[in-house]
Structure 1
Amino acid sequence: MKTFRTLALATAVSLVGVGAMAEGIFAPNLTYRTGPFAATGIPLMDGQKDYMTMLNERDGGIGGVPIMFEECETGYSTEKGVECYERTKANAVVTQPWSTGITLQVLPKTNTDMIPILAPGYGFSPMANGKVFQWAFNPPASYWDAASMIVQDIAAGDLGSLNGKKIALLHLDHPFGKEPIPVLEAMAAEYGFELVLIPVGLKEMQNQSAQWLQIRKERPDNVVMWGWGAMNAGAITEAVKTKYPMDQFIGVWWSGHDADLKQVGEAGKGYKSISWSMPQPDAPLLADLKTHVYDKGMSEAEDTNAVFYQRGLVISMILAEAIAKAQEIHGTGEINAAQLRDGLENLDISEARLEELGMSGMVPPFSTSCDNHTGHSGAWMLEWDGEKFVQASDLLMADAAFIAPLEAEKSAEYAEANAPWPVNESCN
């Protein structure tokens, strides 16, 4: 069996050969395996952990340096998340907040603590602007990318057809759930559709009767769900109960959890979710995981083919590739946080690289740069077929021309509100 390596170029390996004697790279993860969001958090965290375990078991880490991938439990609480950040930051090369609320609290600290934030597919969308947010990264796609792609899918590529239609945004009443609103409001004004905002409070996640009563009254052409954790299962159950057409119900990538749809089975057929990751049960990576992790009893994962578990694998791959790139750039194995920032800013996840990693088709190719900290990879639409999620579209791409001015505007507003805020004027 061919072994697929996650190390960078051979030249990088020679540069960091001293890594065999290194203590390790501390990469903490602010997890939530408890609380109302645990059902969605656990498979993601399992995927992340298993990928790093595989690298340590198979390769001795990255560039010969072991990865110390420790978890700090937040329960998705912003307060606990900030406590975890403060507890782990002394030796950390990265912060993985795992909550838009935590990300927003940590973001102002980045310019002084100089520890990069890695928030794959979440966080504050204007973080894409690397000139302003020099220490924050949200590859491979942002929430604003997701909103753009969802609306394009609803319009079947003809945005003019949206004129006079009504789209409801069923969203968690939390910073995460409010993220798409600026783009959706701008698109509603541009293309003539009515946007109806329907918030779901943290205490209402499992009882959304009031929200679905409003949906029945409003009779929207489509419902877009920006949900997480228990909210998703509650919304899908209510949609089935009220006989809302499931083929008019679309979720963000955190609302495409297999277990939520398995609760309703065939009745959920037609529900869709945008996704920048795609499960690949036959990916060569899975064979390496079986040999080096599963067969050794080192994994707690229940379903290794699930959307969220495999997305966790992709997330840790992004971090591992950034570490390897930083080692290559700086010629050292035990990188620090500032050096990892350079790795995150120079990612090149190409089709060829994904094939080398044994991960072809698991994520679209993307790259980052000093002014592009997201990569804007594009995403696929997944659809529930009654038993599992299947691919329902070719690769969709966000409308960059529409989103970029809004990113510039909102990042400038953030910098002004948090002045003095350093901006990288040399980045072109």
Structure 2
Amino acid sequence: MNHFTKLVAAAVLAGATGGAAVAQELFVPNLAYRTGPFAATGIPIMNGQADYFTMLNQRDGGIGGVPVNAEECETGYSTEKGVECYEKLKGEALVTQPWSTGITLQVLPKTNVDEIPIYGPGYGFSPMADGTTFKWAYNTPSGYWDAADMIVQYIEGQEGDLEGKKFAFLHLDHPFGKEPLPVLEQLAEEKGFELVPIPVGLNEMQNQSAQWLQIRRERPDYVIMWGWGAMNAGAITEAVKTKFPMENFIGVWWAGHDADLNLVGEEGAGYKSISWSFPNMDAPVMQDIKEYVVDEGLSQTNPEEMEGVFYGRGVVISAILGEAIRVAQDEYDTAEITPAQLRWGFENLDFSEERIAELGLDGMVPPFQTSCENHTGHSGGWMLEWDGEQFVKASDLLRPNVESYSDLIDSSAAEYAESNAPWPNNEECAATN
């Protein structure tokens, strides 16, 4: 049922009840990318996101008794189309889910005018962590700078000393791929390793022979990959072909997709990816999705996809958004919240172990909290490793050393505000991150 049809149905229901006030829906549109060069990774995430809200609608009648409408607007991961989708949907939307660092950066300046929260779970502009500067933006539960720190932290735990080591930074030549550079460069200076950036153009994603020739010449100790979509499959295939040691190849959380590793199977064993989510088919939420959505023929997923990292991450993403809605409903004692009230919900998330269990997300997301000042949560993550058939946890929970780059967050946020002046700060909180 699309957005218009739901509104008509609500109007009919209102007529049938004599015009009494009837809760209509919680409109949380998603700027999806089921087509284009990143579709292979977008589809399982979008399926997980959609299925979670369908489950809530089927099982609980929505959130607080109000159905959730998670209508998708297809962008193909195009920044231009993403901005068009944003403008088309913002009139009634509670939230914007841009699904691209490029789209996020375009929409970010609009937030102070439109007053609609941006929800970029695990992506977007890392200084959005600073809630005093970015009142309407959230990259909960963990940001790219957190990921960079945790990857280096993990390698340091394996090596002991990084002095004199060389890291190749294989990244998409796109705002997303360049996001972690400030922290990686800072860590390289602090810990004495050499960082060699190797960009991959959008037209080179499936043919990276030049990049891997450079990697062979550089002979790095590790390759850190900030890849997405077809780039990941291309890089993993090239790494196997050139016999790069897979145990020294580590990707960001968007480079840990089961389907990419299935292409190389056993030869990919040892490849790793940092992740703030973990698939757990035994979690109660997954059983409820199967019962209320999949078994009822209301899903586009399949059994293999459901067991994968990205589908499970989509479930977690919608669960975080759903919890922000619930928290706001409770605070303001209304089921039909406003975008401004949802903003408060995002700032008051408490994903304790107890709450994670209550939501049925056992083992699927680390604990975290947000606040007025902290819009990321910095949940930490696990290092996942491909064992030849699936991703398994290869570490205990890692926590980012946020204090080591908190000055970078503050200075980058201040620089952004100055270059986009006049930029109003959030007077409701004082900077502490």
TM-score range, shorter chain: over 0.9
Whether 1:268 aligns to 2:268 is yes
Query: What are the residue-to-residue correspondences of 1:113-262 with 2, within 5 Å?
Result: 113-156=114-157, 161-262=161-262
* Alignment map for 1:16-415 (pairs within 5 Å): 21-156=22-157, 161-302=161-302, 303-415=305-417
- Asked whether the 8 Å contact 1:227–1:255 carries over to 2, the reply is yes
| SS across alignment from 1:72 | coil
Q: Taking CA–CA contacts closer than 8 Å with sequence separation of 6 or more, which of the two structures ends up with the larger relative contact order?
A: 1
Over residues 197-242 of structure 1, what are the superposed CA-to-partner deviations in whole Å (9 max), with x where a residue is unaligned? 0000000000000000000000001000000000000000000000
Aligned-partner SS, 2:306: coil
Deviation at 1:90, TM superposition (A): 0.3
Secondary structure of the equivalent of 2:31?
strand
Once the two structures are superposed, what CA deviation does each residue of 1:98-127 show, in whole Å capped at 9, x if it has no partner? 000000000000000000000000000000
Q: Once the 2 structures are TM-superposed, how far is the Cα of residue 305 of structure 1 from its aligned partner?
A: 1.1
For 1:327 and 1:41, the matched residues in 2 are separated by 30
- In 2, Cα distance between equivalents of 1:425 and 1:419: 16
Q: Relative to structure 2, which stretch is displaced further, 331-340 or 124-133?
A: 331-340
Task: Quote the Cα distance in structure 2 between the aligned partners of 1:400 and 1:178.
Answer: 19
- Confirm or deny: 8 A CA contact 2:281 2:287 kept in the other structure: no
Cα deviations across residues 218-267 of structure 1 (Å, max 9, x unaligned)? Answer: 00010000000000000000000000000000000000000000000000
Q: Which amino acid aligns with 2:185?
A: E
Partners of 1:400 and 1:293 in 2: how far apart? Answer: 39
Q: Distance in 2 between matches of 1:92 and 1:123?
A: 19
Give the RMSD, CA atoms, in angstroms: 1.1
The one-letter amino acid of 1:360's match is D
Distance 1:37 1:163 in 2: 36
Corresponding residue for residue 416 of structure 1: 418
Q: How far off its partner does 1:287 sit? A: 1.6
- d(CA) in 2 for partners of 1:38, 1:286: 23
For the 8 Å contact 2:372–2:428, the answer to whether it is kept is: no
Runs of 4+ in 1 over 2 A off after TM superposition: none
Is contact 1:40-1:228 (8 Å) kept?
Answer: yes
CA contact (8 A) 1:27 1:94 kept: yes
SS class of match (1:21): coil
Shift of 1:405: 1.0
TM-score for the superposition, normalised by structure 2: 0.93
1:162 aligned counterpart, secondary structure: coil
Q: Say which SS state the counterpart of residue 71 (structure 1) adopts.
A: coil
Query: What one-letter code is carried by the residue in structure 2 that aligns with 1:394?
Result: D
Return the alpha-carbon distance in structure 2 between the equivalents of residues 74 and 426 of structure 1.
Answer: 34
SS in 2 for 1:197: strand
Query: How far apart are the structure 2 equivalents of 1:180 and 1:286?
Result: 32
CA-to-partner distance for each residue in 1:285-316, whole Å, 9 max, x for gaps?
A: 12211221011100111221110000000000
- Matched position secondary structure for 1:328: helix
Task: Specify the alignment match of 1:5 in structure 2.
Answer: none
Q: Cα offset for 1:338? A: 0.8
Query: What letter matches 1:263 in structure 2?
Result: L
**Which residue identity lines up with residue 127 of structure 1 in the other structure?**
M
**CA shift at 1:424, angstroms?**
2.0
Q: Distance in 2 between matches of 1:427 and 1:197?
A: 37
Q: C-alpha distance in 1, partners of 2:210/2:286?
A: 43
| CA-CA distance at 1:425 after TM superposition | 3.8
Tell me, which stretches of 5 or more residues in structure 1 are unaligned? 1-18
CA shift at 1:21, angstroms? 2.5
1:426, CA displacement in angstroms?
A: 4.0
State TM-score, norm by structure 1.
0.94
Letter in 2 for 1:234: G
Q: Among the aligned pairs, what percent are the same residue?
A: 70
In structure 2, give the amino acid aligned to 1:403: Y
